[in-house]
């Protein structure tokens, strides 16, 4: 066997094995190979194992100096494109107003929609680029990016075009999602808005392949289940994957709808109760938790521990956005999931790699296995657990995508 490149000096090579989401106790089954090596050819992994067992030839080699290697992280939930800021909301919240009250009064997400509408596509692109770079440096080699601050079909399309341009400018793999975020302020306009989304926006997004999935925010201050049902049905008819923002503040039937419609993931889940845990555990829908939101808004953390114990497949995302989670690090999201949601270090790594990949419908990433693209991280330390132990500093030393060091 001849490799283009052999990576040596790996203190621990850590990965989940086999495609498919890991549920419950399987989230703790990591494979750790000590004193390991990875052989790469044509950007893909052709061999992994103990360094002393490598018997092939390598055209070049890189010694990572007795450091741990893990798969590139997958951030399955971000809103990385926005303009303006939410510092006035932050002040209002630290003075006692709630996120929901600010939103109901026309601030919050609506404030960001106004600022985003006032920006040009070039401005949005230059604002978003360093955010993606920050996620990349924190270890995210694949990042989902949602629209949702556009509101009208034309501005939502413009946001998706910005994400497309962003994808061309970063080595990270970006997955664009069309997010139907907030309804018109007047309830009279809601039916017409939903019709426009289903008959104009979704068909155009599908035709131009501007998104791989459609997401909708189900919440008292956002969309109701009957509206979300129409949007998800339209998305499915147009062969787009579907997912939901749900159970963030209230339980109004979003999770049940998601499970019934077989969505890829239900995201947030801070208010999820015991019956819902069981329902998720019995389904193939990924439970995506977002600890940055609990930290920043001071709301209860999603029951990560209980979800795993019930047998669900949990993923973790940053939810990077200006209002509820200004968290620019995928590694920190995992570190917070251990502290706030009660995951073990092993579960957090699975939640941020293979399960996060499944939340995006990807079977070909999030693991270090022969045949997969060589996307991996060299950590600063020799023990991989520093990835989820470190707070504040960056535990990621090197990011490799398709066999190339960034
Ligand atoms: O995932 N909850 C809805 N959407 C985002 C927040 C967006 C914002 O506040 O700007 C979230 O928390
Ligand atoms: Fe979100």
Same domain, 290 and 306: yes
- CA 126 to ligand 1 center in whole angstroms: 21
Q: How far apart are CA 326 and CA 331, in angstroms?
A: 14
pLDDT at 19 > cutoff 90: no
- Count of domains forming the chain: 2
Best residue among 83, 93, 115, 245 to mutate for probing ligand 1's pocket (most ligand atoms within 8 Å of CB) is 245
pLDDT tens digits, one per residue of 181-215: 999 999 999 999 999 999 999 999 999 999 999 99
* Judgement on whether residues 199 and 65 belong to the same structural domain of the protein: no
Mean pLDDT along residues 87-111: 95
Predicted confidence (pLDDT) per residue in 259-317, tens digit:
999 999 999 999 999 999 999 999 999 999 999 999 999 999 999 999 999 999 999 99
Contacts for 76 with CB less than 8 Å, ≥ 6 apart? 144, 265, 267, 286, 288, 315, 317, 356, 357, 359, 360
Order of strands across the sheet that contains 265-268:
73-75, 140-146, 173-180, 213-217, 241-246, 265-268, 286-289, 314-316
Residues 152 and 218 in one domain: yes
Q: Residue 378 sits in a domain of what CATH number? A: 2.30.40.10
CATH number of the domain encompassing residue 339: 3.20.20.140
| 323 pocket-lining for ligand 1 (C-beta < 6 Å) | yes
Looking at the structure, do residues 205 and 315 belong to the same domain, yes or no?
Answer: yes
Beta bridge partners of 246: 268
The closest-lying atom of ligand 1 relative to the alpha carbon of residue 103 is: 9
CA angle 386, 389, 393 (to 5 degrees): 80
- How far is Cα 341 from Cα 352, in angstroms, rounded to an integer? 14
The average confidence (pLDDT) of the chain is 97
Two tokens, residue 5? 């490149």
Is the minimum distance from the CB of 79 to ligand 1 under 6 angstroms? yes
Residue in 102, 266, 302, 323 to alter for ligand 1 test, most ligand atoms within 8 A of Cβ: 323
Distances in Å between the Cα of 193 and the Cα atoms of 184, 198, 207, 220, 314 are 7, 9, 20, 17, 33
One domain for residues 219 and 122: yes
pLDDT digits (tens, 9 = 90+) for 71-84: 999 999 999 999 99
Statement to judge: residues 190 and 240 lie in one domain: yes
- Measure 78 CA to ligand 2 centroid, in angstroms: 6
Which residue's C-alpha comes closest to atom 3 of ligand 1? 217
For ligand 1, is residue 322 a contact (CB within 6 Å)?
yes
Summarize pLDDT for 111-147 with one digit per residue, the tens: 999 999 999 999 999 999 999 999 999 999 999 999 9
- Nearest-atom number in ligand 1 for the CA of 267 is 1
| Final residue of a structural domain among 322, 338, 359 | 359
> Ligand 1 centre from 293 Cα, in Å?
9
Same domain, 99 and 28: no
Provide the domain limits for residue 38.
2-71+366-405
Check whether residue 347 and residue 373 sit in a common domain: no
Residue 178's DSSP bridge partners are 214
263 and 123 in one domain? yes
Mean pLDDT of 230-235: 98
pTM here? 0.98
Confidence category of residue 229, pLDDT binned at 50, 70, 90: very high
- Cα 319 to averaged position of ligand 2 atoms, centre (Å): 5
Q: How many residues does the chain have?
A: 406
Residue 145 alpha carbon to ligand 2 centre in Å: 10
Separation between Cα atoms, residue 361 and residue 356, nearest integer Å: 9
Please check whether residues 294 and 378 belong to one and the same domain.
no
Point out the domain boundary residue: 359, 374, 391: 359
Same domain, 55 and 116: no
The pocket of ion ligand 2, defined by CB under 5 A, consists of 319
Closest CA to ligand 1's atom 8? 323
What pLDDT, in 10s, does the model give residues 309-366?
999 999 999 999 999 999 999 999 999 999 999 999 999 999 999 999 999 999 999 9
Ligand 1 atom with the smallest distance to the CA of 149 is: 10
> How many angstroms is it from 324 CA to the middle of ligand 1?
6
Q: Tell me: do 315 and 372 sit in the same domain.
A: no
């Amino acid at each position: 066997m001849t490799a283009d490149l052999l990576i040596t000096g790996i203190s621990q090579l850590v990965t989940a094995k086999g495609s498919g989401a890991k549920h419950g106790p399987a989230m703790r089954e990591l494979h750790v190979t000590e004193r390991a090596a990875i052989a790469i050819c044509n950007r893909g992994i052709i061999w992994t194992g103990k360094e002393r067992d490598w018997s092939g030839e390598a055209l070049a080699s890189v010694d990572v100096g007795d450091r741990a290697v893990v798969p590139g992280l997958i951030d399955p939930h971000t809103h990385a494109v926005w303009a303006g800021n939410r510092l006035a909301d932050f002040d209002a919240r630290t003075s006692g107003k709630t996120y929901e009250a600010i939103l109901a009064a026309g601030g919050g997400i609506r404030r960001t929609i106004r600022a985003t509408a006032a920006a040009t596509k070039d401005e949005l692109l230059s604002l978003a680029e360093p955010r993606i770079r920050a996620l990349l440096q924190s270890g995210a080699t694949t990042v989902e990016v949602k629209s949702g601050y556009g509101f009208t079909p034309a501005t939502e399309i413009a946001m998706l075009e910005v994400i497309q341009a962003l994808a061309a400018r970063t080595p990270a793999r970006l997955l664009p999602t069309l997010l139907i975020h907030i309804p018109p302020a007047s309830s009279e306009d809601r039916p017409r808005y939903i019709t426009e989304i289903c008959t104009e926006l979704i068909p155009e997004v599908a035709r131009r392949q501007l998104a791989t999935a459609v997401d909708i925010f189900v919440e008292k201050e956002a969309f109701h289940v009957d509206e979300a049902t129409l949007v998800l049905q339209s998305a499915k008819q147009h062969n787009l994957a579907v997912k939901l923002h749900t159970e963030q503040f209230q339980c109004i039937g979003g999770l049940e709808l998601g499970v019934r419609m077989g969505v890829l993931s239900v995201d947030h889940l801070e208010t999820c109760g015991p019956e819902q845990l069981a329902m998720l555990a019995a389904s193939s829908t990924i439970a995506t938790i977002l600890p940055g939101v609990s930290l920043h808004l001071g709301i209860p953390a999603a029951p990560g521990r209980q979800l795993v114990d019930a047998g669900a497949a949990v993923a973790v995302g940053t939810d990077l956005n200006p209002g509820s989670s200004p968290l620019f690090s995928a590694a920190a999201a995992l570190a917070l999931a251990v502290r706030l949601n009660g995951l073990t270090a092993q579960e957090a790594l699975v939640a941020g790699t293979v399960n996060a990949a499944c939340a995006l419908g990807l079977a070909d990433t999030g693991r270090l296995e022969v045949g997969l693209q060589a996307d991996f991280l060299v950590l600063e330390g020799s023990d991989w657990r520093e990835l989820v132990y470190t707070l504040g500093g960056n535990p990621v030393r090197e990011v490799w995508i398709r066999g190339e060091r960034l």
